[in-house]
Amino acid sequence: MALSPNPLDWPPADRRERGRFDDPRRRFGTLYAAEERLACFIETLARFRPSVRQLAAEADITSRERPRASSQLPADWCDEHRLARLRLRPGQSWLDLRAFDTREALRRQFAGELLALGIADLDLSGALTSERALTQGIAGWAYDTGYHGVAYSSRFDVAFNCWAVFDNAMIEPILPFRRIRHDNPDLRAAATLFGLAV
């Protein structure tokens, strides 16, 4: 899922340093994808959810109740985004952060960077860190090493499989791209989980 009209367009250079596995030097673009549609909505809508500060201020929320909607999805969000499906062509190389042996190899490769960032170890939680200096450093190293992207677990639910696809990868769009309706069940499910009004 990404901006319309073509959600599989590579991001322009001025938007290439924001995401977890983007290149801070803007040498390559990254598309973000997930194997589950719900995961796409969760990963994308998380930035709109109520902040921890907002949640703490809502005195009427108890531990037995779901948070009430206290944030609003922008009115034009559905109009500006499209759902897309793609196929990754076989024979490409993917850095799989879900795999223990991959994380152990990166732990050795990035030992100096980990210490400099104050990260004591690289385990599954470290691989999913919000510390962009580490994750983008891993992405840059992966690109320079010849990988076509990164496979990783969502930080919201490790059952969700996500992909950061570099612009050196070969992808096949599966058409058509689809409009996102306000009654989309996965949109609604993600919004409910995050306490978002749609």
Question: Domain segments of the chain: what residues?
Answer: 2-94+151-197
In this structure, is the dihedral angle defined by the CA atoms of residues 194, 138, 19 and 121, taken in order, positive or negative?
Answer: positive
**Is residue 69 pLDDT above 90, yes or no?**
no
pLDDT score at 54: 78
Distance CA 147, CA 16 (A): 18
- What the block records as the tokens of 35 is 């194997």
d(CA 77, CA 3): 9
149-153 sheet: strands from edge to edge: 30-34, 161-166, 149-153, 95-96
pLDDT at res. 156: 94
To the nearest whole percent, how much of the chain has pLDDT over 70?
Answer: 94
- 186 to 40, 43, 191: CA distances (angstroms): 9, 12, 8
Cis peptide before 176 (omega within 30 of 0): yes
Structure tokens at 39: 């995961």
The predicted structure's pLDDT at residue 70: 65
How far apart (Å, rounded) are the C-alpha atoms in residues 2 and 82? 6
Residue 130's pLDDT band (cuts 50, 70, 90): confident
The answer to whether 95 touches 147, Cβ cutoff 8 Å, is: yes
In this prediction the pTM is: 0.88
Predicted pLDDT at 57 = 78
88-110 pLDDT per residue, tens: 999 999 999 999 999 999 999 99
Give pLDDT, residue 94.
99
pLDDT(67) > 90: no
Give the pLDDT confidence of 152-189 residue by residue, as tens digits: 999 999 999 999 999 999 999 998 999 999 999 999 99
* CA R_g for the chain: 18
Cα separation, 72 vs 111, in Å, equals: 41
Query: What average pLDDT does the chain have?
Result: 91
Instruction: Give the confidence band of 63 by pLDDT, cuts at 50, 70, 90.
Output: low
Element containing residue 136 per DSSP (H, E): helix 132-145
Q: How, if at all, do strands 161-166 and 30-34 pair?
A: antiparallel
